[in-house]
Amino acid sequence: MSNPDAICFTQEQEDLVVKSWEVMKKNSADLALKFFLKIFEIAPSAQNLFSFLRDSKVPLEQNPKLKPHAVNVFVMTCESAVQLRKAGKVTVRESNLKRLGSVHFKSGVVDEHFEVVKFALLETIKEAVAQTWSPEMKNAWGVAYDQLAAAIKAEMKASS
């Protein structure tokens, strides 16, 4: 019996995600910051969702709390993508989905924000793995991100 709710994430997609994450891992702190700066470039108002950025007078890349936060999010997203097929579901270290859902809900995150983050993530990965980037890799990361976003959104609904 196959599980109708099982995530359709192929071996090939997993290989592409794992291969690109291996390349990015060494550089994850810098990539994470780039990723968040891209988010704010696309949607400057998203900065208002972060209490530590709201009243900050320093440039974004110098904010002492942004980089650690960015690294947490970036690494969690990538690790979740890498484990998607093995686990058969979204697995999140760092913090559980319930807490993530509740934090995103309380911060006022909406669906459009998830789209901006997806775009910024794919652009960041594309730049990081330039030589190996392909439509298949973009699709693999897109599927993995959508699964994580869906899991967080489900918890956000539960928080509302």
DSSP H or E segment with residue 105: helix 97-107
The verdict on residue 28 lying in a domain is: yes
pLDDT digits (tens, 9 = 90+) for 101-148: 788 878 888 889 999 999 999 999 999 999 999 999 999 999 999 999
The verdict on residue 2 lying in a domain is: no
Q: pTM of the entire structure?
A: 0.88
The verdict on residue 5 lying in a domain is: no
Q: Which residues contact 50 (CB under 8 A, 6 or more apart)?
A: 66, 69, 107
- Give residue 10's Cα distance to chain centre: 20
pLDDT at 3: 47
Distance separating alpha carbons of residues 159 and 82, to the nearest angstrom = 27
The verdict on residue 132 lying in a domain is: yes
Boundaries of domain holding 22: 11-159
pLDDT at 8: 80
The verdict on residue 96 lying in a domain is: yes
Q: What tokens were used for 107?
A: 């911060």
**The domain spanning residue 36 has which CATH number?**
1.10.490.10
Number of domains in the chain: 1
Closest to 88 in 3D by CA, of 25, 1, 5: 5
The verdict on residue 105 lying in a domain is: yes
The verdict on residue 3 lying in a domain is: no
The verdict on residue 1 lying in a domain is: no
| pLDDT confidence band for 2 (50 / 70 / 90) | very low
User: Mean per-residue pLDDT for 10-21?
Assistant: 94
